[in-house]
Structures are given as structure tokens and as C-alpha cells.
């Protein structure tokens, strides 16, 4: 996902509805009812030549938006981010519970309604959304203040009740006490606390006094996800609901020319067939009937503007572009002159295919028209502001007439967060073509998901670098060719800098290594194929290219790969810290048996630093990843178990892309359709993973994405250590190892 766009050109709902703040409180609950100002103040700070959005440090606490304490003594944190498995419904309540001095057993989580004025992502600006590993980072101070303010209001209520000085009231594990023996739970004081004013300033804990942050806590969602009571979007059932499936064009860029729906309408259970801008939708009493009806459609497509190339043809075009000068993404010194005068030059090329996100729960959403003409959407909503605006525009109503009820999402990896709210737009378009008397549940099949696009773009890297006489790097020239998914969206004015899409070159243009002569160029490669950020975005390919090239250069310089990197990272202590820790814990450099090897990689993404050492065994052309040792520096570790889980999950996700994942085309048609042809990582592929978290006093950053980038290069470098042969492009070509 993208990081910190200003996004001020997106439509944002302007009406502030106080019912959204208070509706779930109930009589006697502490839902602190101070008036929230309609807008947010933002400070602009320089960041890499651009501007980043950050909340003004003096913003007052907002417990009324985020904390609800009920008479039954539960504390519910209103979570403004979608939890799609990454654990924010545990991480964010931990921050509140810490400052509130609550007992962990009383904590609950609830998804926030769509309201950007209350629940905007402060990293994104005036947009409510989840992504860029920003959930904890942008909520850290905000939720600490909310918890501390709620605590102060509870103490004020106790002072009124007991007639004692506030300095004599203590709070521990959800109970307020006075030395006289008086005590009360949060729930018992909730009603009185709700009448207290919100303090304009609060005192936040010193991190040395944390009792919950940094400790092992059970996840809030573990019970409902274990016993099956958690409600996902696919579980939604509304009275008299129809199921819709959509037949999209067989080629990207194709459009509907004509439709014969007679056979489809004859299928038992099919209720209607409608043509929308995105294709032809079949509505039925159940999913099976809808799919049968879709299969019976006879559609003639207009492919005059469609993608018609094969993957090989696309790559050939990319290589032609790479032979020409591109837009400059980064420049220092004179790389071309230095390369021309150097005696030891290393050249390499890397290819990366399109990749599907393939979350376990495919995209789906439900819409229902209310009696007052407004609409309720049920979905794992990742970008509520955009989705609300798109649905409203499609249905011809104002955004305040669209309510989004967010439920659990079974994964995303970026797919549920699109700049155009694609599947919300599809559902709204289908609804608009009916009499709107019945709710509609739009469902993607697995084939729809795999063939439906919004892929991680295909990329080609052409590189050459030279060593200096001391074995350091004298010059580095790097050309990337790949499709921009920011162009043509509301994010383009922010994410494009001097003609370069920042998400296409991140991890290369800003790499930390000390290189005096650097030139990074990028070519856009337009195509009708729809693309999108994928878990770790540009870092998903740039880390592989940079870290494998670093190993190539270390080998050419006859230096230890860790020592080679450390010498170039002397001004980046957090990179150095994770690199040293991972190497130490893995025993990097130890003597390995024949056919075994270790490889290292270090990479920063989304302000989180990760180093990995992979241990592999190679036999013939078979590669087994035995162990991955991970060191991660993500600032103050909120929930160590969640951090470990995300590092493990990220490593597994990245490993799947390294071993076998790819989307390919034959005359513009996608070859893959389901998990038999787009194979997921199997349990037998998963190595032992050992995670080490760097202690830190820095503000916390995200862990949902940074575990992906270093995996492939660490494995690639380990295979080289075992065989002397390089695996550069992804997925790995294991046949090239035969005879190694």
C-alpha cells in the first residue's frame, strides 16, 4: 500500500453526524461527548523532496471517537482500520489499554463507521483507509491520548464520588482505588465519567512504565475466529437477498459488444441479467444459480482496445524500453562516467511477473436500500472514504446516504484498497440497474479473483555497477521498466515526482548504501491490464534486485557479504542493527556442508527495518529453504506475538512469489485461474522461522508488509552460496541449477 499521500483531491463526506459517535453507547456508558471539530489540522513536513501529512502535535485527545466504557465493565476501542488478519484489532486496543490502565480481559474492538472526519488515516490526510503498514504508526499518539483522557475522566468521576484528592486515586487493571479502601470498576463509574469534561491536555506514560505494551497478550479476535462466530463479508445474509456474479471481459481493455442472455434467464433461480460498464451481471436466488446463469451467457466482446500481447511479447517490449534513457528517479555524481572508467563492472538483469493478491476470501460485498433511500454496504472495507464516494456517485446520492458496515476481511495484501473502489462500483452499478427492492451480494469466484487483475505490475530491471580500488562501490546504474498504477488516479499528483512514480522505484531510488555515483531511471509501460499495490508495493521487486546485486558485488570484491554491506551502511544504524542481529543469531559465515548455503538480505520499507538470513539445501535442481532468521526493528514493539506472526506471514507470502507465483498471458488472456495453476505456498515449503525483535524507544511503525521484501534475495543469495549459480529473476528458475 501507498505511504502518506496527501490525497486532498478525493471526495470526502462533509457532514459530521454525532449519531455515529454516540449510537453504540447506550445509557450509562462512557462515550465522552465533547463536540469534535469538523476538520483536522495538518502539518506538512519535508520528506524525500515531497510532502508528508502528519497530525499537529497539539491536537486534543479524542476519547469520544475511540473509547467506549460500558456498565458491564467492557472497554471497546473503535478501530478505524480494517483488520484483514494483521492484528490491528489487538494492537490498537493495546495502546488504549496501556494508557487507560485497563485489564486486558475487559478489552474489546469494534470497526469504525465510514466517517473520514473522525477516522481519517493521519498518514494519508483526509482519507479513512488502511494500508502502507500505517495502522499503528498513525494511531500511536492519537490512541494514547484517547486512553489517557478516558482514564483522567474516570479519576475525575471517582474524585466527585469519593470526595478525595485526585492524586490519591490509583488505577490498575480496570479498578480505581483510594487508600481509604474505596474502590470501583470502570463500569461502575462509566455514567458519571461520561459527564466529565475531556481534558485538553493529558500526561502520557513513560515507556519504562508500560505493563501491557511489549508483553505477550492473547489476540482479541482469537476466540471468535476459532469458534466460527466471526462474521466475514462472505457470511452476510440479508432478508430476501440476491447473489450476483459478474462476467468481466476475457481480455483487459475489452468491452461488451452484444449479449444473448436467453439461456441464462432460463436457468432455475436466475432472477435478472443486467449489463453494466464492467461487464454483464447475473442475479439469482443463490450463488450456484448465478454461476450457472453466467456460464450460459453468450457475449460478444469488443477487443479493439484490449491487451493482446503474450507475456514474452511484453517482456521484449520492456527490454527495448530499458535500452533507452528513462525518467530520472535518483542521481548522484556521474555514474555513467564512473562505470566507463572502472576496471571491474558487474552487470545483471532481473524480471518480475504480474502477481495476483489471492487473499483467502475473494472480494465480495452486499448492498441494501433502506426505506429512506439511503444504502447500507457490508464489506471488508479497506478504503471507506473512496468506496463511499464511488458508491454514492454511481447510485446518484450524496456520500452521507451511503453507510459502510465494515466486517472482518479474509486477507487483502492490498487488493481491497483500490483508488477507484472497483468492486464497490461494480456492486453499486448492478444495484442501480435493478428495482432495488432486494439486497444484492456481489461475489467473486476464485477464478474471478485470479483472472480479474489489479495485479502487482510486471517489472524488468537492467543494472550495472562498478567497484572502486578499495572494494567499495564506485558507481551504480539502474533502469526499471514497469507499469504505473498511480497514473490516472487521484494519487498521481502526489505520488509522481518529476515524471516518476515513487512506488515504482522505492527501495532503489532511496537505498541506504553509500554510493558516490548513482543513476536510477524508470520507464512507464502502459497496458490495459489493471494493476495495483501488492504487499510491500515496489519493495516487492526492488529488494530482490538491490540485495542480489549487493551479493554479486561482494563476491566480485572477495568480501564477506555482511561485512561488505556494513561498510556501506555506516550512516544507517538501524540497518546495521538488524543486519548484525540476524547474522549473529543465524551464525552467518559458519562452514556449511556441501549443497547447503546461507544468504543474507537487509531492507527497509514503511520505516521498518528487516534483515534475513536464509539457510537452504540444494540437491540436483531442488531447493529446500530450511530456516529463515529474521531481525526486525519496528520501533516500540506493541504486541511481540503479532510482530512475529506478521514477520512469519510476510516471509511465507514472499517465499511463495519466489518459488512459483506468476500471472502470465497468452494473446492477452490470463493463463492462471485457480490455486491449481496459481499455486499457493504449501506447508511443506515453509521453513523454520526464527524472529528476533530489536528493543527500541522509537515510535512504532508497521509490520504487515516489511517482512516480504528480504525473503527472495536472502534465498537467492543462499542458493548462490550453495551452488555458485545465481537465481535473479522471480519466480526462481530451478532448472538452471541442474548440474550445479
Burial bucket for residue 370 (CB in 10 Å: 0-12, 13-18, 19+): exposed
Q: How confident is the model at residue 108 (pLDDT cuts 50, 70, 90)?
A: very high
Of the listed ranges 1-15, 529-543, 677-691, the one predicted with least confidence: 1-15
Percent of the chain with pLDDT over 70: 92
- Cβ neighbors of 660 (< 8 A, separation 6 or more) are 679, 731
The domain 233-304+363-443: what is its CATH number? 3.30.365.10
Q: Where would I find the beta strands (DSSP E) of 548-621?
A: 596-605, 608-619
Q: For the residues 444-464, what does the mean pLDDT come to?
A: 97
Q: Examine the pLDDT at 314 and tell me if it is beyond 60.
A: yes
- pLDDT tens for 197-246 read 999 999 999 999 999 999 999 999 999 999 999 999 999 999 999 999 99
18-227 CATH: 3.30.365.10
Strands across the sheet with 459-467, in order?
327-332, 517-524, 473-482, 459-467, 345-352
pLDDT digit string (tens) for 672-706?
Answer: 999 999 999 999 999 999 999 999 999 999 999 99
Cβ atoms < 10 Å from Cβ of 371? 5
Pairing outcome for strands 440-443 and 364-369: antiparallel
Give the length of the chain: 740
CB 476 within 8 A of CB 347: no
Domain ranges of the chain: 18-227, 233-304+363-443, 311-355+454-737
Residue 60: what pLDDT? 85
pLDDT at 13: 33
Q: pLDDT (tens digit, 9 = 90+) per residue, 622-668?
A: 999 999 999 999 999 999 999 999 999 999 999 999 999 999 999 99
Q: Given this chain, do its domains 233-304+363-443 and 311-355+454-737 carry the same CATH topology?
A: yes
pLDDT, tens only, 333-355: 999 999 999 879 999 999 999 99
Identify the CA nearest to 13 among candidates 134, 110, 124, 113.
Answer: 113
Q: What is the reported pTM?
A: 0.92
Closest CA to 202 of 153, 255, 247, 260: 153
Residue 661 CA to residue 654 CA, distance in Å, equals 10
What mean pLDDT value characterizes the chain? 92
What is d(CA 583, CA 585) in angstroms, rounded to the nearest whole number? 6
Predicted local confidence at residue 160, as pLDDT: 97
Whose grid coordinates read 482496445?
Answer: 305
Residue 555 and residue 371 in contact, taking contact as beta carbons nearer than 8 Å = no
Q: What does the pLDDT average to over 106-133?
A: 96
For range 11-27, the mean pLDDT: 32
pLDDT average, residue stretch 278-294: 98
Over 90: is that where the pLDDT of 151 sits? yes
What does the pLDDT look like over 160-188, one tens digit per residue? 999 999 999 999 999 999 999 999 999 99
Q: Distance between CA atoms of 405 and 384, rounded to whole angstroms?
A: 9
Distance, CA of 112 to CA of 126 (rounded, Å): 15
The CB density around residue 197, as the number of other CB atoms within 10 Å, is 11
Residue partners of 53: CB distance under 8 A and separation at least 6: 4, 5, 6, 42, 44, 122, 123, 124, 125
Q: What is the CATH number of domain 311-355+454-737?
A: 3.30.365.10
What are the angstrom distances between the C-alpha of 266 and each of 275, 287, 292, 296, 298? 17, 16, 10, 9, 13
Angle at the Cα of 727 from the Cα atoms of 723 and 730, rounded to 5 degrees: 155
Amino acid at each position: 500500500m501507498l505511504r502518506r499521500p496527501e490525497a486532498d483531491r478525493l471526495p470526502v463526506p462533509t457532514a459530521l453526524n454525532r449519531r455515529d459517535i454516540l449510537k453504540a453507547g447506550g445509557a450509562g456508558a462512557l462515550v465522552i461527548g465533547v463536540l469534535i471539530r469538523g476538520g483536522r489540522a495538518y502539518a506538512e513536513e519535508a520528506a524525500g523532496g515531497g510532502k508528508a501529512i502528519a497530525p499537529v502535535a497539539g491536537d486534543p485527545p479524542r476519547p469520544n471517537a475511540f473509547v467506549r466504557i460500558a456498565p458491564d465493565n467492557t472497554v471497546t476501542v473503535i478501530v478505524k482500520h480494517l483488520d484483514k488478519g494483521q492484528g490491528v484489532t489487538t494492537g490498537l486496543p493495546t495502546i488504549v489499554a496501556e494508557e487507560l490502565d485497563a485489564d486486558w480481559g475487559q478489552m474489546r474492538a469494534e470497526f469504525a463507521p465510514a466517517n473520514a472526519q473522525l477516522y481519517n488515516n493521519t498518514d494519508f490526510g483526509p482519507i479513512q483507509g488502511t494500508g502502507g503498514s500505517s495502522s499503528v504508526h498513525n494511531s500511536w499518539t492519537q490512541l494514547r491520548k484517547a486512553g489517557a483522557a478516558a482514564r483522567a475522566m474516570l479519576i475525575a468521576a471517582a474524585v466527585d464520588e469519593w470526595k478525595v484528592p485526585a492524586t490519591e486515586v490509583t488505577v490498575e487493571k480496570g479498578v480505581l482505588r483510594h487508600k481509604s479502601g474505596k474502590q470501583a470498576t470502570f463500569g461502575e463509574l462509566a455514567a458519571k465519567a461520561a459527564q466529565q469534561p475531556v481534558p485538553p491536555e493529558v500526561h502520557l506514560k513513560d515507556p519504562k512504565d508500560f505493563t501491557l505494551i511489549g508483553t505477550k497478550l492473547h489476540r482479541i479476535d482469537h476466540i471468535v475466529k476459532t469458534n466460527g462466530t466471526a462474521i466475514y463479508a462472505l457470511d452476510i445474509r440479508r432478508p430476501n437477498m440476491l447473489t450476483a456474479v459478474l462476467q468481466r471481459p476475457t481480455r483487459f481493455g475489452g468491452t461488451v459488444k452484444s449479449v444473448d442472455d436467453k439461456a441464462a434467464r432460463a436457468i432455475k433461480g436466475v432472477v435478472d441479467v443486467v449489463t453494466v460498464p464492467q461487464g454483464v451481471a447475473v442475479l439469482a436466488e443463490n450463488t450456484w444459480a448465478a454461476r450457472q446463469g453466467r456460464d450460459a451467457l453468450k457475449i460478444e466482446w469488443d477487443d479493439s482496445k484490449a491487451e493482446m500481447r503474450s507475456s514474452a511479447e511484453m517482456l521484449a517490449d520492456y527490454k527495448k524500453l530499458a535500452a533507452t534513457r528513462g525518467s530520472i528517479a535518483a542521481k548522484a555524481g556521474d555514474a555513467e562516467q564512473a562505470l566507463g572508467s572502472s576496471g571491474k563492472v558487474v552487470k545483471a538483469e532481473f524480471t518480475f511477473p504480474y502477481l495476483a493478491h489471492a487473499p483467502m476470501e475473494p472480494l465480495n460485498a452486499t448492498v441494501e436500500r433502506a426505506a429512506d433511500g439511503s444504502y447500507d454496504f457490508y464489506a471488508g472495507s479497506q478504503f471507506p472514504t473512496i468506496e463511499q464516494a464511488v458508491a454514492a456517485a454511481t447510485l446518484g446520492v450524496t456520500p452521507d446516504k451511503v453507510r459502510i458496515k465494515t466486517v472482518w476481511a479474509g486477507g487483502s495484501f492490498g487488493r481491497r484498497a483500490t483508488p477507484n473502489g472497483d468492486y464497490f462500483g461494480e456492486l453499486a452499478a448492478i444495484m442501480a440497474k435493478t428495482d432495488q427492492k432486494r439486497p444484492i451480494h456481489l461475489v467473486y469466484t476464485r477464478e474471478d479473483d485470479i483472472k480479474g487483475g489489479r495485479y502487482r505490475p510486471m517489472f524488468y530491471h537492467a543494472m550495472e555497477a562498478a567497484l572502486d580500488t578499495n572494494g567499495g562501490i564506485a558507481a551504480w546504474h539502474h533502469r526499471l521498466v514497469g507499469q504505473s498504477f498511480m497514473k490516472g488516479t487521484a494519487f498521481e499528483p502526489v505520488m509522481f515526482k518529476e515524471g516518476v512514480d515513487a512506488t515504482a522505484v522505492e527501495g532503489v531510488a532511496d537505498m541506504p548504501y553509500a554510493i558516490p555515483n548513482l543513476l536510477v531511471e524508470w520507464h512507464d509501460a502502459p497496458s490495459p491490464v489493471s494493476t495495483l499495490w501488492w504487499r510491500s508495493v515496489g519493495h516487492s521487486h526492488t529488494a530482490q534486485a538491490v540485495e542480489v546485486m549487493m551479493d554479486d558485488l561482494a563476491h566480485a570484491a572477495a568480501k564477506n557479504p555482511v561485512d561488505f554491506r556494513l561498510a556501506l551502511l555506516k550512516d544507517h544504524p538501524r540497518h546495521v542493527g538488524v543486519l548484525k542481529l540476524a547474522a549473529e543469531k543465524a551464525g552467518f559465515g559458519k562452514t556449511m556442508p556441501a549443497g547447503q548455503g546461507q544468504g543474507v538480505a537487509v531492507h527497509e520499507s514503511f520505516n521498518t527495518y528487516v534483515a534475513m538470513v536464509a539457510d537452504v539445501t540444494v540437491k540436483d535442481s531442488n531447493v529446500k529453504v530450511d530456516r529463515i532468521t529474521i531481525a526486525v526493528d519496528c520501533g516500540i514493539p506493541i504486541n511481540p506475538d503479532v510482530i512475529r506472526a506478521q514477520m512469519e506471514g510476510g516471509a511465507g507470502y514472499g517465499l511463495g512469489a519466489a518459488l512459483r507465483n506468476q500471472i502470465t498471458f497468452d494473446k492477452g488472456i490470463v493463463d492462471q485461474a485457480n490455486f491449481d495453476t496459481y499455486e499457493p505456498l504449501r506447508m511443506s515449503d515453509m521453513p523454520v522461522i526464527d524472529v528476533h525483535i530489536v528493543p527500541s524507544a522509537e515510535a512504532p511503525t508497521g509490520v504487515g508488509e516489511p517482512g516480504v521484501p528480504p525473503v527472495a534475495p536472502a534465498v537467492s543469495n543462499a542458493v548462490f552460496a550453495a551452488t555458485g549459480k545465481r537465481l535473479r529473476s522471480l519466480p526462481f528458475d530451478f532448472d538452471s541449477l541442474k548440474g550445479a
